[in-house]
Chain A
Amino acid sequence: MTAPIGAVAALASQAVTPTAAVAPPGGLNAAAPAAPTGGAGFANALGGALDNLQAVQSKADTLAVQAATGTLKDVHDYTIAATEASLATQLTVAVRNKAVEAFTEIMRMPA
């Protein structure tokens, strides 16, 4: 059972790093030095995820317009793109919620 616990601990340690990354945009500059390595990494990852979400959703939008105008070649092209867009949105929202949750958890700590 030590391995699963170790895995959870590793995840937990990663969860702390994102929190520090979230903190600087919130104006807590004092917290920034506490995350010397992970800050840019999480910001980049989140930015990349948002770019990816943007691309997936614009693809689904393009295909939706094609479906409305009758130029859509494959029905499943649109439905699959819409499914991927929905999944990507859910994933991004889940990551965002987790980051905010971790941040508020830290803020709740007694000073």
Chain B
Amino acid sequence: MPLFGAIGVAGTGVTVYRKWLDAISDNISNINTARPTSAAAFQARYVVAQAVTSPDGTGGVQVGGIAFGSAAGRLVYDPQHPLADAQGYVRMPDIDLGNEMTQMIMAQRGYQANLAVVDRAKDAYQAAIQLGRN
């Protein structure tokens, strides 16, 4: 464990939650991205977190990979749409806004929790440094 290990570990957590927030914002911004039925729909991005284990005891978390949602999406009848096919359908991404908002709350709270750990760890280390001063 390096010096100030708790701060470094919490930092990896903040990074993962930041990437999760990025993925959610990507999903929400593309929630109305229509594609022609001949093409694949916009696929939702899901961050896969992975625990980090190393021999020196340094823990943490990292993004193990990105999982993608359904490429089939859902077919929506919208004959006025410029991308609509002969039957009047377009392919919309299969993203639920309510689900994305719920995940955003989780990601935001996780981000804040990790930053709170950084803050408390800093206070704790500072108390240790102050020990015996005067």
A residues within 8 Å of B by Cβ? 52, 74, 76-77, 80, 83-84, 87-88, 90-91, 94, 97-98
Within 8 A of A (CB), among B4-26: 4, 7-8, 10-11, 14-15, 18
Given A52-B3, A83-B122, 12 new contacts (CB under 8 A): A74-B15, A74-B18, A76-B14, A76-B18, A77-B15, A80-B10, A80-B118, A83-B118, A87-B4, A87-B122, A91-B125, A94-B133
Q: Is the interface of B mostly helix, strand, loop or mixed?
A: helix
Given contacts A76-B14, A94-B129, A94-B133, contact A84 B115 (CB under 8 A): no
Q: Bound state CA distance, A80 and B118, in angstroms? A: 8
Tell me whether A84 and B7 are in contact (CB under 8 A): yes
Tell me whether B126 and A90 are in contact (CB under 8 A): yes
Within 8 A of A (CB), among B113-134: 115, 118, 122, 125-126, 129, 132-133
Tell me whether A87 and B115 are in contact (CB under 8 A): no
Q: Bound state CA distance, A78 and B74, in angstroms? A: 42
State how many angstroms separate the Cβ of B24 from the closest Cβ of chain A: 16
Tell me whether B115 and A76 are in contact (CB under 8 A): yes
Q: Bound state CA distance, A80 and B125, in angstroms? A: 14
Tell me whether B11 and A76 are in contact (CB under 8 A): yes
**Candidate in A84, A91, A94, A98 with the most chain B CB atoms within 10 angstroms:** A84
Q: Which residues of A contact B126 (CB under 8 A)?
A: 87, 90
Q: Bound state CA distance, A83 and B129, in angstroms? A: 14
Q: Which residues of A contact B118 (CB under 8 A)?
A: 76, 80, 83
Q: Which residues of A contact B14 (CB under 8 A)?
A: 74, 76, 80
State how many angstroms separate the Cβ of A92 from the closest Cβ of chain B: 10
Tell me whether B3 and A80 are in contact (CB under 8 A): no
Contact among B4, B18, B133 for A88, CB-based, below 8 A:
B4
